[in-house]
Structure 1
């Protein structure tokens, strides 16, 4: 098994009295926490508490910026110019960094959320805009992007911007043949069965093929593996996967 693959989870996505996920139980099981920055979820107190929780467990903190879309949880495309995208990513990075500094740490990487994350796969200008935000914010700040069947495009853009990349795969999402995520509007876009999630996670961790949404083999090379915190089966899968990875 690949010892170097990391586990990450989207966290800090509660908002006021509305709760999303169980961060307190999930945090000890992951290596990286992608923390909402207020545009798709989270409020200042949630951000502060989740940063402190990550620091307590020695988990690397990633900024999880999105389009300004609280009502749609950041999963809807918002028509922003590249300049606006650079600015909104910098804005959210700065907000999260304030809580990180107060807790004696810093933002370790950037992983865009939802529609912005998916739009970067298709829109060169938006990918360049997010890379610009990383480069402007801090030299060497990595950007986490989707591991595809072919990531030459992302590598070329990142090299031009002098931004390191981390490639991410998903344990609980169905894939299209090219490695893009199956749209959530499809009924089988999100895996629900714990064993299926675990099997896909282990295949990715081991660098082995797994079935795409059409049942055809797909193989991805990933640095980090995401299990969504808003999936009801996340904790059970994370516990089993953490144990398997640690035992390898």
Structure 2
């Protein structure tokens, strides 16, 4: 097969997965999977995630070099270490269960629900609620960190001058950082409703409020408590 598009489509079909199922397992948006399979994307970091989801040789999926998932003889020549002999490249065709990484794998944080974020700090680490999956976070963070999938458009900036957080992107939150500086992005709980929200923290002359990046939404000036500070963001390429 002479293209990533054909190999990606064939590998997904062989894994007996729909694009939606592949999105759930790999974390790659269905729209991105569709673009790869149409040939609109020739090279993408998403290919590695899809290879893991399909249990395919990532080198084969990316370049066509190596065993295809349906090849009986899964032997791959060693390339990176000169003294390493050829060995079996084991491939299974059962999609990995969520979470993608084992819980508490070093360098990963749990992707949790907004409801769980409200009481995350009240649990011991070993008793924290079930995560949708564990995902890598390269930003420096404490063990009390988690990830949230952004909902709503209040943090979607209409200007290209500000970093934007569109619905569906993922933010990494460190709950050990509860004293943010003015302008930092935070997760906060409104005291009058217990609603958890994602906003820009603002303070001036003793006053504190929460500011959305989208001017269509109103600032929050009611009492609130800081649950954590955003230390990073992940957004798929479309």
Q: TM-score, normalised by structure 1?
A: 0.29
Higher normalized strand content (fraction of residues): 2
Q: TM-score, normalised by structure 2?
A: 0.30
Higher normalized helix content (fraction of residues): 1
